[in-house]
Structure 1
Amino acid sequence: MSVRSTPPSPSSPPSAPRRHLPRARGLLAGTAGAALVAGLLTAPAALAAPADLDPLGSASELGVDVPVQDDLLDGAAEAIPGRWLVQVSGDPALQGGSAGANRTTQKKVEDSAEAAAVPFTVQRSFTGGWNGMSVSMDDADVAALRQVPGVEAVFPVLAVEAPRPADAAPEDEYGNAMTGADTLQQVDGLTGDGVKVAVIDSGIDYNNPDLGGAGTDDETADFPGDRVIGGYDYVGDDYDSSTAGSTPQPDAYPDDCGGHGTHVAGIIGADGEVTGVAPEADLLAYRIFGCDGTSDTDVILAAMEQARADGADVVNMSLGASFMTWQDYPTAQLADSLVASGTTVVISAGNSGTSGTFSSGAPGVASDAITVASVDSTHRRSPFATAAGADRGYAAAEGAVAPPTSGELTLVAAGEAGTDAALACDPAAVPAATGEGQALLVSRGTCSFREKALAGESAGYDAVILHNNAPGSLSPTVEGDPALTIPVVMASQADGLALQEALAAGPVTWAWQEGTTVLENETAGLVSDFSSYGLTAELELKPDIAAPGGSIWSTLPLEEGGHGSMSGTSMAAPHVAGAAALLLEKPPELTPAQVKSAMMNTADPLTWSLAPDQGYLEPVHRQGAGLLDLVSAAHTTTSVAEPSISLGEGEDGPRTVTITVANAADEDRTYDVGVRHGVATGAPTSDPEFYAAEGIAEPSASTVTVPAHGSADVEVTLGEDFGEDGIIYGGWVTLTGTDEDLVVPFAGLSGDYQALTVLDDAGAGLPALGVSDGEGSVNLDPDGGHTYTMQDGDVPYLAYSLAYPAERFEVRAYEVKKNGKLKIVNPSVGHVAAEDHLGRTESPEVWAWDGSYALKNEKSKSVKNGDYLLELRVLKPLGDASDPSDWETYTSPRFTIANPTPGKPGAH
């Protein structure tokens, strides 16, 4: 996943997945004016720290722009109505099953579903890495389909947003130097020659000379070629899965019109103006995104299976469905199948780091894949202006006029540095421009970038120069209606303060410049602010490793200038994919598990990005083993059988784990055994509290000697006694030798996972019943009593927020009889809607009921008019469905259904 700056235009990183439980959802709006919105913007109260935890502050207190309701964009993944993935019984062929047997089982399921009056149309059949079908069907029939013999699970097809890069960047050579890729190229002569790397993305512009092309924009030329040797376009230019009626138009030419895939491919294997990590690797291009809009997990599954069939040694997937942290989602299952069959799979961790913990997603949560976090590079390449005697790099805001490459403006400060006036959040307080040729200097903070930009435009300025209020580069978005008519750019905190100081001493001129400049990165070597946190829903440690992804210069399609800069975990993953190609080129031949272990065992744990001068290490569930050290990975002769340790929940007390250390050298190796701890995180997941928390970590010995061509075991007791449920803690078991240092990351969750509250109040009294406002949004109706016509969206809504992943989500409906007794609707099934394995939500979501329900093995029916209430039930993650204490329940107030056409589902 990625975030990009000029060229092309920047935008914000994708946010949370939007899920359709089998009904349409609305947007949450305020009741009584802005009452609800105000509630949603209120951060949950911080929990008191347990006595043995040292609190370090919350994410928002430490300067993280924690998303709030007004800031949220559509999610990185939204379930597509009417499309589902049906997993059937039997192992996939790559996991020991039979493709023929799987096809037979799928046909039996299709026949049984038809006999049970649950019709569907098969779109694709999968038998190799995942055994199932993608189907189109009535959403109301999904509950019945789950009862059909042979059906193991039913998952929604997710619309996956094309990752939108957005940040300034350096030459790729800086990223290569950070991990030692340049050393392996120059000293060891490794280039990835003969290794096939598949790029499942928006395609590759194979016309780009850095990727083997002749330099002429022609999709029918240069393919297949010496560098991009094969691939397929699954979708065509116009496909957008989120647009009703949009259908894929595949063809033989996986040319890239979006830019993302070409940038990824250049990081892996460019050889020209940009030098990739593996500049002689063979590239395979599988295009699953159109020029704009979303793709879907059905198409992604097809591309994954084809990459394996085409003999890919490495598959790179810089994409994913944020917050879908369950490892049984089909794309994650298929990723593990590819690894089991001998393919190294590398996946981006996601760009939802500002949204807190449990924010990564599928397929990156796949257990055996290498999931990659992003680290900011040492330098960044940026468009720039000169002001106050220095070059001032900037990122252009999306939704504004493109900045010019010449001309001068006189800077005017919105207010004195450090004051509210400097924020330009009150348009009335912004000093009016006194004439043409002036730019307003504004500090980041409090209100949105768009509000600041509009205030400057309204005050008569010809440009708005925003500056950061914290270290690091950032690309803003000012999109909206009406569009901005002036340039808006974002400068660094240091440049902004320098300009403020210069303005206090006299006039300052901002002079636009042509081209780009290379600047030192203020956050070099720190985990990028957008990089997502683990754990998985099953409490497995993710991500696995970190690589340069913040501020990377690489290839772009010729029509976009040929080269440009992007940031994101999308850029970190291909760096690791290229590194895998180098390791696979070097004898002896490695398995995917050995590639992963070599990278993780030799990585270097990173300093905590939110307080880099305090001596703490970044949470292990955000960086994994640490920064990739490719030279050590290529030359180590020592390995650990398990690259990481996932401790799970801690209610049963500490665990003693055995670490097996193998030595392929001709001489014995002795290592000092130790433990380093990372910063821990606690509730709330959306704005986590950070703690200096050293759990129990007791090695059985202080040293271990590993014989030549032999192995030795080290036992380590790991756990916690914090006295608090839900603290995610961890660190690294360290093996320190004379010639090399090794690490084994570990993580766990304190106390009882099922003791945590899943249904979150969200500062708004959720869950709650809702009523349509008639304009596409939903008002809360906590007291009930509304009469729903079930027409034109006037249906009962449930607004809810999930603080943690949910094992199961159910809605039951009850008719309220005249005597006050409750009669359950759909007693043969027990509920009117259900879905398994939901990720935590980034913002409140809304489920709508049109009055219909699916009988067991039969078609849908609708309730009659009368009085009803709804019961929302959530099974806690990894909970026992037979244990009532593992369920959370909300019961709505009473409401009335008065449908003028009773028995028919309401229109939306």
Structure 2
Amino acid sequence: MQLLSLLATLGAALGVAAQDDVFRAPRTGAPEGFDGIIPCTFFVEFPTSVVDPAAEVKNHFAKYPTAKYALRTSFSSDLISFASFELKGQCDEDIVASIGGAIHYQAVTVRAPPVPVKDVNPLKSGAPFVHKQDQIHDLTGVNKARNELGLTGKGVKVAVIDSGIYYLHPALGGGIGPNFKVVKGHDFVGNSFNGTAESIQESDDPLDNCSDVSHGTHVTGIIAGDARDIKDPKWAPKVPFSGVAPDARIYGYRVFGCQGLTGGDIITKAIYMAAKDGVDIINMSLGGGPAFNDESDSLAVDKVVAAQQIVVLASSGNSGSNGPFATGSPANAKTGISVASFDNGETYPHLGGIIEGSTYPASLSIAEKVHLQDGQTVELVAWNLTAAADPNNISDGCFKPSNDVTGKAAFMRWGAGVCGSVARCTNAYKAGAIACIIAKNKPVDNFGITGYEKIPGMLLPQEAGDHIVRLMQAGKTVNVTATYQVFAYGQSTGGTLSSFSSPGLDLELNLKPEIAGIGGNVLSTISPHSAEHEGSPEPYIDMSGTSMSSPYTAGVVALLIEKRGKIPAASFKAYLMNNAKPAPIYNTSLTHSPSYQGAGLVDAFGAATAQTIVTPPGLALNDTVNIKNQYTIKITNNYKVDVTYALQAKTAATSTQYLSGDDFPEDQSGTLLTNDQHATVTFLSNTCSEEDTTGTKTVLVRAGASVDVDIQFTPSALAPAGNLPVYGGYISITNSIDESALSVPYVGMIGSWAEKPFWSRNSTSLLKQWLRTLVKGAQTATTGLYADTSFAPLVANDAVNATDGSFVLAIPTYTSRQASVVVQYVGGDNAMVASGFSSNIAYIKLYDAVSGDDQGPAYWQTFQRTSYQKAQGLPANLLYLWTGRAYDFDSKSKLPSLRSQALPAGNFVMRFMGLKNFGDITKPADWDVLETVPFTLVY
């Protein structure tokens, strides 16, 4: 009964039950305590009849003379009326909730600045590479759409919501205005924006020549840049290229300052302003990690798509290393298009090593403070030629050299295992070498080393190392010359999923991402400031990320709009997804899961010329508990003749992130991608011609007509309980006219997503890969309270010393809408009240045990799904320190008190509470509750 009472009390505090007769707008979006919230900062939406929302807020605060606020931004149109502001001083959310006439309010959440992926170039081996201009567009049908259909995106208006645009770049038109490529724009924040209301300085000039990455400029070049015919040597690229839709018109909306974060409210305003300006497409190469699709920017996407049929695309994220379920806002908007990344067929390094006239891509060591100069030639001497010639050797450079490298460049092969680049380059320095040159001994690996600060370092790919070894074995003197120039180089992973691309599904098992564009190694424009910062010899650079794949796909949409005119956004999504090309997992014949690649790599020509459209373009089957008895796809024949379509189900990889006996999600290296546990697909519709419902079906569709086909999916029953594998595949639809095939991805989960416990209770991988890297003697990594660093489970009535501090492991296995950690006094007296608490329940105060940072109260934090290591969209696990302090819990308030207090000595239990997937916060059965044994808090 105590637990039921506690949950009911907490539910009331969250606003589930009315507490008085005062008007309270409902709170939506991120819950209190979410670590991605900008403190005391709120977004309030009003009816569109409110034309001055800022005045509405001002009039409201006039009723509270002691309450101070600072307006961040506001906007009003026929689609939205909102204002956002910061509370100054006391963070009294009741004042926000009581704003008269408000539809709802949210806490404003952080959006980190887009960061391209570093050092991900897979190193190619194999046949010689021959570069062809705009070869990237061969992979996606863009060249074919240009050459055969004449499509260039002419007149299509594309909004770029990003870090601003260096529109003075000649490849971007050299100016801004009606007669330029960049037509207009708006700066919502200004150069000096640091996240606060006071630092915002709006203007109509979106110019960016101060951000180090020049992200928005790079994105713009991918969509519509054209560097093919520039003659000025200052701007002429060594590798000429063009964007996907070079004649598109760009509208630039700057939402980041020179450096730092922005807020969801700023991005929301940019979305609505772009809609008001009449754009056809919005691209957002930004976003966060796993989140629900009820943040203001995700809601804005759905609203502008529904009202104005704008096609909105957003990057799925760069958290691929952390495994599935990693996509976030705003890519998770229901009607937007979340874009995964495929690798380009070539890379464009701006550093090379020249060996006997052949130029190989190279990277400098990160730690070095002395560098090889452009054109500098050094003679190579093998550290150990026998080791260098052995592809399985993992110790070259780790021990004493076999040759004298004094005054020469020490050459060694990289084999991870015995020592790293720091040790190898340090050894080279101590041996008297003037440079540390390392070549990979495997065909695919990350392209980057740390090195040693006192010696120049260079990393070369495997084929360069093989070339050097052959020359040395022949007794020849081998030199390498550093060259700082952009050049094209082949990449063997071209046309397959990028390793960094964030997989889905989303948190409610919807199909995200939905499609893929080229995002791995894309050459595009940057500002002069960024070129200097990045060490690029020209204002162009190769970047990687879903930040690149999203604008690539936006450019394809521009070509489609030019060809098909203004049709519903849902139809563009269908044409894109129907004609995309699913790809296999790199170096295998197994088709990758739709939860990773969506419908597959975009095909511009196919999407522009298809005479058939199939809706819906993707099928999200949910989990085994919620799967429907049947699903229906509609095939519409826009040919002028009757067409017979052949339907066939094709399986794809099954993804399993939760492994048997381990309830914490595996990262990319531990996630299983297997060719089993497929669903049985049965075509039920009587429009199918064959009786055998599991083979290839044929469906006759009359000219200009549509036919519904009913399909049943029966998931495999092979999965062990709790593993929750994600299965999927593609329904292939081939027409009888030219035998071209469309496809519809389907994806589902085996098991019950709602029954998955929120708190980790059993994870050997978490113990080995995380906790024991911090505390070698740790015995367990189970969610709970621990008296000391042995991490031995508590025994009933154990003493927990608040003076020395104890440790808390609060480890989520996915992202929950609501979670909290509380203590409850179980003594028989009123010691809690006597100590200044309003009840026997309190939120514990936590610190990061490693950094010492104050983590505040553990009240209704989402405890967003974590990982062994931090990624762009996922936080790393935290080891929490607890010193016996807590925050008052008052059921009449939605927030804890602002001041923590020491709990009295005595007997307590600690409860970890998290709302399970699909859960209702008013139902105790929908909570995952882990309770410690009673313990005695002592000082």
Q: Normalised by the size of structure 2, how large is the TM-score?
A: 0.76
| 1:6-405 matches, cutoff 5 A | 79=36, 81-86=38-43, 98-100=48-50, 103=53, 107=57, 121-125=70-74, 133-137=83-87, 141=91, 152=104, 154-166=106-118, 173-213=134-174, 222=176, 226-241=180-195, 247-257=199-209, 258=211, 259-273=214-228, 274-322=241-289, 324-341=290-307, 342-382=309-349, 383-387=351-355, 390-401=358-369, 403-405=372-374
Amino acid aligned to 2:353: A
Q: How far, CA to CA, are the matches of 1:106 and 1:459 in structure 2?
A: 72
Distance 1:81 1:627, change over 3 A: closer
Distance 1:854 1:152, change over 3 A: farther
Q: Describe the SS at the equivalent of 2:137.
A: helix
Distance 1:193 1:471, change over 3 A: same
Q: Describe the SS at the equivalent of 2:112.
A: strand
Q: Deviations for 1:506-555, whole angstroms, at most 9, x for unmatched residues?
A: 55432223424322211111111111100100100111111211121111
1:720 is aligned to 2:715? yes
| 1:805-884 matches, cutoff 5 A | 805-815=815-825, 817=827, 827=839, 833-835=858-860, 839-842=864-867, 843-845=876-878, 851-853=886-888, 855=890, 856-857=892-893, 860=898, 862-867=900-905, 870-881=910-921, 882-884=923-925
Residue 850 of structure 2 corresponds to none
Question: How many residues are aligned here?
Answer: 793
What displacement does 1:121 show?
4.7
**Which stretch of structure 1 is more off in the superposition, 283-292 or 826-835?**
826-835
Distance 1:86 1:669, change over 3 A: same
What displacement does 1:768 show?
4.3
What displacement does 1:193 show?
1.5
Aligned counterpart in structure 2 of residue 698 of structure 1, from 651, 669, 682: 682
Distance 1:876 1:247, change over 3 A: same
What displacement does 1:490 show?
3.5
Q: Describe the SS at the equivalent of 2:817.
A: strand
Check the 8 A contact 1:326/1:839 in 2, yes or no.
no
Residue 549 of structure 1 corresponds to 519
Q: Deviations for 1:109-141, whole angstroms, at most 9, x for unmatched residues?
A: 9669969x9976543345666775534248995
Check the 8 A contact 1:205/1:556 in 2, yes or no.
yes
What displacement does 1:591 show?
1.9
Check the 8 A contact 2:53/2:83 in 1, yes or no.
no
Q: How far, CA to CA, are the matches of 2:49 and 2:444 in structure 1?
A: 50
Aligned counterpart in structure 2 of residue 443 of structure 1, from 394, 414, 419: 414
Residue 932 of structure 2 corresponds to 891
**Which stretch of structure 1 is more off in the superposition, 385-394 or 450-459?**
450-459
Check the 8 A contact 2:342/2:519 in 1, yes or no.
yes
Q: Describe the SS at the equivalent of 2:342.
A: strand
What displacement does 1:872 show?
2.0
What displacement does 1:343 show?
1.3
Q: How far, CA to CA, are the matches of 1:338 and 1:549 in structure 2?
A: 26
Residue 15 of structure 1 corresponds to none
Q: How far, CA to CA, are the matches of 1:853 and 1:556 in structure 2?
A: 51
Amino acid aligned to 1:691: T
Distance 1:441 1:404, change over 3 A: farther
Q: Describe the SS at the equivalent of 2:394.
A: helix
Q: Describe the SS at the equivalent of 1:161.
A: coil
Distance 1:368 1:400, change over 3 A: farther
1:744 is aligned to 2:744? yes
Q: How far, CA to CA, are the matches of 1:251 and 1:541 in structure 2?
A: 38
Distance 1:189 1:151, change over 3 A: closer
Q: Describe the SS at the equivalent of 2:207.
A: coil
Q: How far, CA to CA, are the matches of 2:73 and 2:413 in structure 1?
A: 52
Amino acid aligned to 1:690: L
Q: How far, CA to CA, are the matches of 1:771 and 1:247 in structure 2?
A: 45
Check the 8 A contact 2:837/2:889 in 1, yes or no.
no
Amino acid aligned to 1:392: Y
Residue 13 of structure 2 corresponds to none
**Which stretch of structure 1 is more off in the superposition, 832-841 or 639-648?**
832-841
What displacement does 1:332 show?
1.8
Q: How far, CA to CA, are the matches of 1:491 and 1:699 in structure 2?
A: 53
Check the 8 A contact 1:719/1:748 in 2, yes or no.
no
What displacement does 1:809 show?
1.0
Q: Describe the SS at the equivalent of 1:187.
A: helix
Amino acid aligned to 2:73: R
Q: Deviations for 1:131-158, whole angstroms, at most 9, x for unmatched residues?
A: 7553424899578679768685644521
Check the 8 A contact 1:212/1:225 in 2, yes or no.
no
Check the 8 A contact 2:787/2:801 in 1, yes or no.
no
Q: How far, CA to CA, are the matches of 2:727 and 2:72 in structure 1?
A: 43
What displacement does 1:885 show?
5.8
Q: How far, CA to CA, are the matches of 1:619 and 1:410 in structure 2?
A: 45
Residue 511 of structure 1 corresponds to 481
Check the 8 A contact 1:450/1:478 in 2, yes or no.
yes
Check the 8 A contact 2:519/2:549 in 1, yes or no.
yes
**Which stretch of structure 1 is more off in the superposition, 134-143 or 178-187?**
134-143
Q: Normalised by the size of structure 1, how large is the TM-score?
A: 0.78
Unpaired runs of at least 5, structure 2: 1-28, 123-130, 229-240, 532-537, 659-664, 689-696, 772-780, 844-856, 868-875
Distance 1:892 1:416, change over 3 A: farther
Q: How far, CA to CA, are the matches of 1:787 and 1:466 in structure 2?
A: 52
Distance 1:311 1:452, change over 3 A: farther
1:409 is aligned to 2:379? yes
Unpaired runs of at least 5, structure 1: 1-18, 25-77, 91-96, 214-220, 773-777, 899-908
Q: Deviations for 1:467-517, whole angstroms, at most 9, x for unmatched residues?
A: 4565447443639xxx82444444334444554565555554322234243
What displacement does 1:253 show?
2.6
Q: Describe the SS at the equivalent of 1:262.
A: helix
Distance 1:666 1:545, change over 3 A: same
Q: How far, CA to CA, are the matches of 1:647 and 1:339 in structure 2?
A: 24
Q: How far, CA to CA, are the matches of 1:245 and 1:126 in structure 2?
A: 15
Check the 8 A contact 1:654/1:696 in 2, yes or no.
no
Aligned counterpart in structure 2 of residue 663 of structure 1, from 637, 643, 663: 637
Amino acid aligned to 1:267: I
Residue 23 of structure 2 corresponds to none
1:734 is aligned to 2:754? no
Q: Describe the SS at the equivalent of 1:807.
A: coil
Amino acid aligned to 1:876: K
Q: Describe the SS at the equivalent of 1:308.
A: helix
Q: Describe the SS at the equivalent of 2:200.
A: coil
Amino acid aligned to 1:698: T
Residue 46 of structure 1 corresponds to none
What displacement does 1:814 show?
2.2
Q: How far, CA to CA, are the matches of 1:470 and 1:325 in structure 2?
A: 37
Q: Deviations for 1:45-89, whole angstroms, at most 9, x for unmatched residues?
A: xxxxxxxxxxxxxxxxxxxxxxxxxxxxxxxxx72552444465x
Q: How far, CA to CA, are the matches of 2:68 and 2:879 in structure 1?
A: 27
Q: How far, CA to CA, are the matches of 1:539 and 1:139 in structure 2?
A: 40
Kindly, what percent of the aligned residue pairs are identical? Answer: 25
| 1:680-691 matches, cutoff 5 A | 680-684=654-658, 685=665, 686=667, 687-691=670-674
Distance 1:578 1:652, change over 3 A: closer
Q: How far, CA to CA, are the matches of 1:413 and 1:569 in structure 2?
A: 40
Aligned counterpart in structure 2 of residue 632 of structure 1, from 596, 602, 606: 606
Residue 28 of structure 1 corresponds to none
What displacement does 1:735 show?
0.3
Check the 8 A contact 1:537/1:839 in 2, yes or no.
no
Q: Deviations for 1:716-764, whole angstroms, at most 9, x for unmatched residues?
A: 1124123434101111111012322111111111110123233234224
Q: Describe the SS at the equivalent of 1:335.
A: helix
